[in-house]
Chain A
Amino acid sequence: MMSKTRLDELNTNIYDFKNKDDYAYKIDKGLSKEIVEEISRQKNEPSWVLDIRLKALETYNKLNLPTWGPNLDELKMEEIATYVRPKADIKDKWEDVPTEIKDTFEKLGIPKAEREYLAGVGAQYDSEVVYHSIKDELLSQGVIYTDFDSAIREYPDLVKEYFSKCVPIFDHKFIALHYAVFSGGSFVYVPKGVKLEMPLQSYFRLNSPESGQFEHTLIIVDEGASLHFIEGCSAPKYNKVNLHAGCVELFVKENAYLRYSTIENWSKNMLNLNTKKAIVEQNGQVDWISGSFGSHISMLYPMSILKGDNSKTEYTGISFAGKNQNLDTGFKVVHVGKNTSSVVSSKSISKNGGIATYRSLVRILPNATNSKCSVTCDGLMLDDLSRSDTIPVNDVQNSDVEFSHEAKVGKISEKAIFYLMSRGLSEEDAKAMIVRGFANPVSKELPMEYAVEMNRLINLELEGAIG
């Protein structure tokens, strides 16, 4: 017989391995002008960046915590180190990355994925990017894929033109925090007409306890270009709170296409307060595929601004809230241009007292005539302890639109469980199969390897019930 603890270890250790908290530099805990200036000094960055940081800090101090959503009392900025530089410089060959850090990414399957089906990879460890690489043929086509610090140095004009123009520093308190202490992240520029066949992937690993990760991802897909970008995140579990407040800014130009896929799998002590937004020009399209796993609290609402006429967006998301988890996720869309269209499909699973909330905003502006928006959300509760809510805000400001919203929340069907069990499946297997089926519309949108990964995460979350 296996003991309970043994099973728990087995279930989590794929992501939950800790390396020693061994860093080259870790800033004092807390948040102050001195700390922000010190981060800037450590990063040796131009003064315009520091100016933004300081303005963001001021904004942060002025803004209040959100009055809605999960309770964030546990977040004490004075207990969080906002900058941790790993003992590694950025490299473009895995063999040059220090062994322990390289092993971390090996365990997460990143170099293997790069060899098999990615066009480029970025890997961040705590606050800095330790590996970044892109296939040569893409370089010769003018594709830029690099870490954010290098982008600031090497492409200052391009970065300045776009940085904080999609997600402004005053959007909300945690984005102000982000801009004050941001570090790492990826920068992507796909030139006009260039269509990438294989995806790029950036992976963010937070190893250091009582610290935060604040990576900034900025992607520009120029006219007629196309890109699939994959983002992955994880962290080992500690007893104290860790914080993730990343920012993703996406610019999708005329006739361009961007697919942004994420599987976030945070440890259960993480506060994940992440901001992602896309601005889509005429005939452009951005599709979001979002899997939110882990974290103690998540507040994550990717947003598409359909600025140009005929622009489109699709959002396919799933979240899994288990014991002691409050996942507040959803999608926001603003229809600005004419003939714009959005299709939103959101799913949540809650178990063992977990709370999964779908919170959304659909705003259709007066000029966005002949636009279409359809929203479906499904909540699946695996027991009576768990909760699943939908909180939609719909603001339709013109009458020439097709808008539909459908929400379904319910407990896993006892009849379906019985049906599957009558075919020889155990109760656990039956439930797992139903949950995987429920998640299938999302996994179908992911590349095969990531779909497998997501199914594995779902199984891990379900097996947690044994302990």
Chain B
Amino acid sequence: MNAEERRLLVLEGVRAAYGAVPVLHDVTLHVDRGEIVTLIGANGAGKSTLLMTLFGQPRATAGRILFSGQEMTALPTHRIARLGIAQVPEGRRIFPAMTVEENLILGITPLTAREQEDPGLRAALLEHVRSLFPRLWERHRQRAGTLSGGEQQMLAIGRALMSRPRLLLLDEPSLGLAPLLIRQLFAVLRRIAAEGTTIFLVEQNANQALRIADRGYVLVNGRIQMEGVAADLLADGHVRQAYLGGH
């Protein structure tokens, strides 16, 4: 495979804005098949906006977004999931009034009608989530709104995995979780990656993120300011000082 074939996600000079307020300026980055890539940056840098722009919410005002070589910049939001991209958005956005199981089943929407009707496939996908998050599954008949923060995060990840995405986007999944849960979460992300899913991980928890990532990007005020191999970024004095709390 040459470099071009390896690229799963490519952003070229992407700009985005809320109304007249620009947030992203000429963002260029890529994620290769099988990689874990992390995007770190301070609060308000535009990380969440970048993930949402991939889904056209808001839509990029300039530049191109390609998935597996196919241009998706102007695709309607609901069509993008069908390409094989799933997002665990900021704030989890689970459906609180539905049961855990219903939330998970909603995750299969991007599959073809035929796949969605296949009870064997559905059972296998649910079983996969259950193997990743056994404690979550114990509550599968419970309303999702009654779950703890950690369980809701597991649910949001499980829901995203139900469509067997090729690319999994996560927006600060560790936010608000206790240290023990954060360790478990990153272990699960490693396992998901080992099973063949490419991961693009947005984190303020840069230390942990860079430890499991292959490469990283640093976003400052809507611009990519630094990029490199995760271990190099982890060792970089600048990054340490700005995003790793100095230790």
* A and B associate in one complex: no
> Taking beta carbons and an 8 Å cutoff, which residues of B are in contact with A?
none
